[in-house]
Amino acid sequence: MSDPVLVIERLAAGGSGVGRVDGTVCFVPFTAPGDRLRVRITARKRSWMQGELLELLEPSPLRTEPPCPAFGRCGGCDWQHLRYDAQCRAKQGLLGDALQRIAGMSSPPVEETVAAPNPYGYRARAQFKLFSTDSGLTAGFFRRGSHLVIDLPEGCPVVTPAINAAMLRLRPLLTTVPDRDRIPQVSVEEGVGGVVAVVHYIGQQQERLVRLLSEWKQELELAGFFVQSGRKETLTRVFGDANLVYTVPSGGDASAEVSLAYGIGGFSQVNRQQNRTMVELVRRLLALEPSGRLLDFYCGNGNLSLPLATQVADLLGVEEYAPSVTSAIDNARQLRVNNSTFKCCNAADELQRLVAAGERFEAVVLDPPRSGAADLVLGLAALGAARLVYVSCDPATFARDAALLESRKYHLVRAIPLDMFPHTAHLETVALFLKQ
């Protein structure tokens, strides 16, 4: 069979374009709706094919020139070749498609995607992979589908300028480390106080490395510098604070802000601007009452609920990762929030305990991991909450859980795609369910 020609109709959840070859669906990466192209078939399954772009015969008007020279080779971005407005429309379509296919909703209430104010320079955390040879040091990200490191000597266009600047200062210094081949990765993260870097080290001379890194304090202009030799518990301070701080809108005053902290290695949203938008969306959708009780499942460091604590009589946060619970408690103390309790436990187990105790809540917010919350949502109705806001990072598991919530008389009334990760196929969803 000769290399077929096809037209890309839409974008799929993984980021590839979708066309048809003799009626069979064909997925082709780095294509745009409206492209007419010639492909090489690289995989054949019973109901679909995988193709590789050979020749772009007629480019789509939705295309644009990618600013990153590594795009297409680097495993980070999927859609730098797409105009940003087209990316946002595609994400709206991906969410609607998931709710139709998986949740069985004929007309899901999916709204327009909330676009990022800055599609580039937004990522406040990055893990730069390192590869050392006799001729020098390669620092960048893995090549797509491999563990080969693509060198990014000028930095990455999606990470913040401060992180790129920090890596440019750090890179030549790392070449002077005697056993630099034992440093596979450097994690760099930006907070209000500046940039913090963690050198991941798998060698046997950690004390020597810490002494060497401490000599670079003035040259690096970092807010913190650490060495990690294994799991997160092995973090060793070179200098600086082990907490990062960011700001979000205060629930009591849209023009005011509160500061939240989390420990290095803990979870936080990498797009600080869109996280602020998400916190504000959650506040609006919950429509909290001063006399009500708010329950926050998978609460992390209190990102979604602590800014709203002044709007309710009582706040309960539940999180299984102990360092995040410690951060939430510390944040509540710093904000002088006296009506909050944070528990370190499994969400489903805590729900069972709350139901058995006859506890009631007027509003619930949950922000589960990518796997969703199927073990939790079926029991939520017993808490009596009139409003439930579900924040999801995966349309497929969200659609599955939305169907489960509908079976428990929670009706999906708003589903808002939020573009937390421009130039990728990933999207965040903020959704409101009302008890019928």
Sheet of strand 10-11, all strands in order from the earlier edge strand to the far edge: 5-7, 36-44, 48-58, 24-28, 17-21, 10-11
**How much is the CA Rg of the chain, to the nearest whole Å?**
23
Q: Find the catalytic residue in 26, 74, 77, 393.
A: 393
Query: CA 343, CA 128: separation in Å to the nearest integer?
Result: 34
Query: CA 7, CA 5: separation in Å to the nearest integer?
Result: 7
Q: Give CA separation, 111 vs 107, 254, 379, 432, in Å.
A: 11, 23, 27, 12
Tokens of 415: 């589903």
Nearest alpha carbon to residue 99 among 309, 405, 398, 411? 398
Nearest alpha carbon to residue 201 among 211, 193, 191? 211
Query: What residues have CB less than 8 Å from 411, skipping those under 6 apart?
Result: 433, 434, 435, 436
**Mind spelling out the 3-state secondary structure of 36-86?**
EEEEEEEEECCCEEEEEEEEEEECCCCECCCCCCCCCCECCCCCCCECHHH
Is position 345 annotated as part of the catalytic site? no
DSSP for 304-348, written as a single string: TTGGGGGGSSEEEEEES-HHHHHHHHHHHHHTT--SEEEEES-HH
DSSP for 105-122, written as a single string: -SS--B---B--S-SSS-
Instruction: Write out the H or E segment, with its range, that includes residue 248.
Output: strand 243-250
Catalytic residues: 393
